[in-house]
Structure 1
Amino acid sequence: MSEFMENRETVPTTLPEWLLLQAGQQPAGIALRHKHLGVWQVRSWSQVATQVLSLATALHLRGFTSGATLTLLSRPRPEALLATLAAQWLGGVAALLDPLDAASDQTALLEQLQPDFIFAEGLEELQRVDAAHLAPQLVFYADGRTVTGNADGQGRWVAYASLVGQVPNLELPTRGHSQHTAFAFYRRAEGGTLEQQRISHAELLNEGRHLVDVQQLGIHEEALAARAFAAGGQARYLLAPWLIAGFRLNFPESLATRDNDRRELGPTLVAGTRETYGRLHALVLTRLPPVGSWQRHLVEWALASRPGVVRRVLGDWLIRRPLRDVLGFSRTHAALLVGDALPENTKAFFALLGINIQGWPDPGQWQPRPRASADRVDGWINDGPQLA
């Protein structure tokens, strides 16, 4: 693998090229951590690069070419990220469906997209693929605990482990270009119209570099990926900075455990949405003492908007610090808000805790999907105009 990395371009212009750069500069450094069965599993930058190349080799052998699209149905997990980078390695596009979408909505979206290449997390997602009556060229899945044998016995579903075990082709170059689409996002608008949003490698890297510079992010950052990049803002302000700055990216065990995992991890970088911070605000409110109790009076005393020196010091020790620990913000120095602004009460609450949430725009625009793309999601997406 080291011999292959020596042949990479000097200036990275795509996400996979940045992966190769990090693997060359800090091969033993921790790139990914994933909590599985209560234990944090670790992958180094060298391991990630090797596994991505193995996946790219396997996809290439199964007919995935430049301009093709890999559609991903998954909650946060490293396998989805590595599959994304493998598709982009080959000059393809990663189309991520939001893991929080209802099963029926996701099935309807799949019916309209009719994708050829699909990554599914587990049996639940595989059943959605079947329910959409698709005829894909390849479907592979990550979680085989509930998938017995070779899926339905007819070889229609392939285990992720068998693909990542492919011997990597060290002669397989990265085929993407800076202006190619890296990510595609889709949604069904009112009336069932299919809308799209696309982001190029150049756009991601430009905005990622800007964030790294402004926030002064380095290799020692810890970030939590709780939405699996199924929104443009997460790709802009978490995935791209991860590759550029070379810090550690952590995946929770599941969406249900993300808050507990955040508390345990104590990330230094948090990239959340209006919904993320609103949910955390509500979580803290449910844990406050009853209104009127002396404990509640103590909380209100400590969280005064303009405390004196004594109140500020005692309030931080007694209330603010424990509440930051509850939220998992004990070490956070970069709390980012991606997209829509926060309600004033939520913004004020975090400010009282000493957490400065900084807004970063999500400039992606939803556009009607061109009719010329026919019935499939593959083969056209890199040829269309890029979004500003």
Structure 2
Amino acid sequence: MSTALRQSEVDISTLPARLLELAATQPKEVALRHKLWGRWRETTWAGYAAQVARTAAGLRRLGVAAGTRVAIHAENRPEWLLADLAVQGLGAVSVGIYPTSPAAEIEYLLAHAAVSVLITEDEQQLDKVLAVRQNLPDLRHIVVIDPRGVRAEGILTFADLMADDDGSYAATVSSLDPSAPAILVYTSGTTGPPKGAVISHANLVASGRKFVDALGAGDRDEVLSYLPLCHIAERLISVIDAVWAGSTVNFGEGGEAFAQDLRDVQPTVFLGVPRVWEKMMAGVEIRMSDASRLKRLVYKACLRQGRRIAPRRMSGRTSPADKIVLALCELLVFRPLRLKLGMSRVRVPVSGAAPIAPQVLEYLWAVGIPVLEGYGQTENTAICTLTPPGDVRLGTVGRALPGVEIRIADDGEILTRSDGVFQGYLDDPAATAATVDTDGWLHTGDVGTLSDDGFLTITDRKKDIIITAGGKNVSPSEIENLLKVSPYVREAMVVGDRRKYLTALVGIELDTVGNWATRRGLAYTTYADLSDKPEVHALIGNVVSAANKELAQVEQVKRFALIGKELDHEDGELTATQKVKRTAIEKRFHAEIEAMYT
């Protein structure tokens, strides 16, 4: 870790101030890297800070000042970070909006936050805003990052915004109040309208300090920015930790190019949500089915050895014999496999933002990707727990980070307290009081257990626990994760509250099931057509049967239905973070659910 970072722990109280320090102490080091038209372009820390200063000057000309709310509505790209740190440096409040958000959701968020300036990505995103602008009296200015095709009048470009630097950014940053709001992060809204979590400069700095220390992150680390930046998880990696540690943030081409982006960057620190890790495992399994017989035999033999040794690797107790076996497996399979996955340099792979099946973690450890689990929320600036290296316990999310207190309430709810706990929900004192009690404990809404030596196990969301007609409490997420271990299952939602038995709605993984069908000569035209085939139903039936063998009788899925469409954020079936909206799904597929109980 750099000397500048150690000094900053004493006298730096905001992320913009830390950015300016890096610009002064390591001006020529690479801060950002962006792939554009197939070529990677670099920005130094001095260039990063200069661009942020120019962006801030442009925003100041638009009337942005302390307390003003500025929204950023774009995919992951350098301009997102420039705008975010420029807004924070002015004492204003940065509000992230998911690029997948439909017009109605954008209208709600901009109105609720009383946003006065919106920075949007391109013509497509601009059209969503223009469709509802007449309902947004507080919105005074719209800035477009990529103006190609934009014909609307009165729209500024990001280049216009960065035209001049008035030289006042550093002075403004030096006068920031660490206790003032810095960002507004909206919750996913699984059970109702999203709530705006107010997070201060001090919260962000506390998060940076704790995670940089826990991860051992520094100025030699590389990260790939790919999760939505308005989510606290990606904000943590690409903004908070990257600025605090001085790490390099890479922006690839995204979307379908994600796998290639990973191979290009080979990040040293990588945060993957469970869906990413699940798909990575499924992709390897599918590719191996196309390999030669010899390659399959070698892969299976090495994987078997990797699985056998994995528990000892998790506890840091591999024997000399284990190391010899692993060295051979590395040479034959694991090292080239990780290179293709983009994991050849990964030093700290982390899974977070949602529960992950232990079977997936076991596989990743077996092939040499030592994934650690972390647990945190928007409301505590992601500060809660992390798996300690050398003491990995599958099924738990690790121990409390330094300075974090955890306790379990009488009803099983997990409560946390730290300097990351947010300031409350915007304009919602009732929800704030229900979430943070008078003693400063954050009521997470998750249910779990805490071992005697401090390892936390999360059972489920408190509101999602199923109580069967027989009075048994069942955690649906554990069953759903077990089903989603299969490469053929993309979504699974267990149903059964107040019912005699459990059922499940299952969404297939189009790529893998399509590949399976093609191999068997099963022609299909659409997702719905593929889902409707008896052979596919039988395939998923085998997945359900295999999962049931690992479950208690009351937890077993007695019947299931394949849904005929891919769940979508714009249709209101998923949150922007791809979490299933259970109430919306139960309403949308009411007939299919009832048919499983007749």
Does residue 1:199 correspond to 2:256, yes or no? no
Contact 2:70/2:117 (CA < 8 Å) preserved in 1?
A: yes
Task: Verify the 8 A CA contact 2:103 2:129 in the aligned structure 1.
Answer: no
How big is the shift at 1:319? Answer: 1.4
Query: 1:320 and 2:334 equivalent?
Result: yes
1:146 and 2:149 matched: yes
For residues 164-187 of structure 1, the C-alpha deviation after alignment (integer angstroms, 9 at most, x for no partner) is 122332475214322222221224
Q: Is the 8 A contact 1:364 1:387 kept in 2?
A: no
Contact persistence 1:54–1:168 (CA under 8 A): yes
Distance 1:96 1:35 in 2: 22
Instruction: Identify the residue that residue 370 of structure 1 maps to in structure 2.
Output: 427
| 1:41 aligned onto 2:41 | yes
Shift of 1:102: 5.0
Tell me: CA distance 1:326–1:102, structure 2 relative to 1, closer, same or farther (3 Å). farther
In the TM superposition, what is the alpha-carbon distance from 1:312 to its structure 2 partner? 2.6
Please give the per-residue CA displacement for 1:302-339, whole angstroms capped at 9, x wherever unaligned: 11122656643332122111221121010010112233
Question: For 1:214-293, what aligned pairs fall within 5 Å after superposition?
Answer: 214-290=214-290, 293=293
CA distance in 1, matches of 2:303, 2:208: 35
Mean alpha-carbon deviation: is it higher for 49-58 or for 197-206? 197-206
- Partner of 2:240, secondary structure, is helix
CA distance in 1, matches of 2:28, 2:292: 54
Identify which of 294, 304, 308 aligns with 1:306.
Answer: 308
Task: State the alpha-carbon separation in 2 of the partners of residues 173 and 314 from structure 1.
Answer: 57
Question: Aligned AA for 2:370?
Answer: N
| AA in 1 matched with 2:234 | Q
Write the mapping of 1:64-79 to structure 2, written as runs, cut at 5 A: 64-79=64-79
Equivalent in 331, 336, 354 of residue 350 of structure 2: 336
CA offset digits 1:158-217 (Å, max 9, x no partner): 100111122332475214322222221224736753412232222222222122222222
Residues 361 and 56 (structure 1), Cα distance of their counterparts in 2 relative to 1, 3 Å cut: same
Whether the 8 Å contact between 2:187 and 2:378 is mirrored in structure 1 is: no
User: Take 2:59 and 2:238, find their aligned partners in 1: how far apart are those partners?
Assistant: 25
Distance 1:232 1:333, change over 3 A: same
Give the match's secondary structure for 2:182.
strand
Secondary structure, counterpart of 2:43 in structure 1: strand
- Cα shift at 1:345: 2.0
Q: Secondary structure of 1:223's match?
A: strand
Matched, 1:357 2:377: no
CA contact (8 A) 1:198 1:387 kept: no
Structure 2 CA distance, aligned partners of 1:222 and 1:23? 18
Against the structure 1 CA distance between its residues 131 and 280, is the aligned structure 2 distance closer, same or farther, given a 3 Å change threshold? Answer: farther
Structure 2 unmatched runs, 5+: 1-7, 310-321, 381-423, 430-439, 443-598
User: Which residue number in structure 2 is paired with residue 164 of structure 1?
Assistant: 162
Match of 2:412 in 1: none
- Alignment correspondent of 2:172: 173
Q: Which amino acid aligns with 1:306?
A: R
Identity %: 26
Is the 8 Å Cα contact of residues 69 and 114 (structure 2) preserved in structure 1? no
3-state SS, counterpart of residue 365 of structure 1: helix
Q: Which moved more, 1:48-57 or 1:300-309?
A: 300-309
Alpha carbon RMSD of aligned pairs, Å? 2.8
Indicate the SS of the match to 1:218. coil
Name the stretch that deviates more: 260-269 or 233-242.
233-242
Distance in structure 2 (CA, Å) of the matches to 1:40 and 1:321? 25
Bigger shift: residues 309-318 or 124-133: 309-318
**TM norm structure 1:** 0.85
Q: How many residues align?
A: 363
Separation in 1 of the partners of 2:379 and 2:289? 43
Equivalent residue number for residue 378 of structure 1: none
One-letter amino acid of the counterpart of residue 363, structure 1: Q
Following superposition, the deviation at residue 118 of structure 1 comes to 0.6
CA shift digits 1:217-265 (9 cap, x unpaired): 2211111111252211222344222112212111112333222111111
Conserved? CA contact 1:110–1:129, under 8 Å:
no
- Alignment-derived partner of residue 4 in structure 1: none
Distance in 2 (CA, whole Å) between partners of 1:271 and 1:139 is 32
Distance in 1 (CA, whole Å) between partners of 2:117 and 2:191 is 27
Once residues 441 and 28 of structure 2 are traced to their aligned partners in structure 1, the CA distance between those partners, rounded to angstroms, is 37
- For the 8 Å contact 2:54–2:165, the answer to whether it is kept is yes
- Does structure 1 retain, via aligned residues, the 8 Å contact 2:81–2:239? no
Q: By how many angstroms is 1:371 displaced?
A: 5.4
Write the deviation string for residues 25-74 of structure 1: whole angstroms up to 9, x where unpaired.
Answer: 01111111111011111111111111111111111111111011111111
**Which of 308, 332, 345 is matched with 2:359 structurally?**
345
Highest CA radius of gyration, 1 or 2? 2
1:275–1:106 distance in 2 versus 1, CA, 3 Å: farther
Amino acid at match of 1:195: K
In the superposition, the TM-score normalised over structure 2's length comes to 0.56
Letter of the 1:173 counterpart = T
Are the aligned partners of 1:75 and 1:255 in contact in 2 as well (CA < 8 Å)? Answer: no
The more displaced of 303-312 and 215-224 is: 303-312
Quick one: distance in 2 between partners of 1:75 and 1:317? Answer: 38
Q: CA deviation at 1:301?
A: 0.7
CA distance in 1, matches of 2:332, 2:294: 14
Deviating beyond 6 angstroms after TM superposition, the runs of 4 or more aligned structure 1 residues are: none
Select between 363-372 and 340-349 the one with higher mean Cα deviation: 363-372
Matched, 1:11 2:11: yes
How many Å apart are 1:111 and its aligned residue? 5.4
Partner of 1:184: 184
